[in-house]
Amino acid sequence: MVKNEWDKIVGIPIASHTEIISFKDGCLTVGVDNSTWMMELSYLKDEMITKVNVFLKGAGKVNKIVFRRINRGELK
């Protein structure tokens, strides 16, 4: 559900450099295509958690986001 709407939740600029890898036990793991974006997203982590939880309307609440570096070719 979140994966299909990721660009609407976080916006196209962030979505174009990220991809959801997994969502388990309140932890959303997000792949990021470069270290510059990983640094930027670390500052936006709380805001992103809030946006995802608003989208989910309480179902499957996100407690934390973990960013993992992935190769650009791995993004859709």
* Confidence band, pLDDT 50/70/90 cuts, at residue 29: very high
**pTM for the predicted model, two decimal places:** 0.88
- Structural domain including 54 reads 3-74
Contact criterion met (CB below 8 Å) for 31 and 14 = no
Number of domains in the chain: 1
Q: Which residue has the higher pLDDT, 75 or 11?
A: 11
The full 3-state SS of 14-30, as one line of letters, equals HHCCEEEEEEECCEEEE
Q: Stretch 31-36: mean pLDDT, rounded?
A: 95
Q: Stretch 23-52: mean pLDDT, rounded?
A: 95
SS3 of residue 48 by DSSP: helix
Does 59 have pLDDT greater than 70?
no
Q: Stretch 17-24: mean pLDDT, rounded?
A: 94
What CATH number does residue 37 fall under? 3.30.300
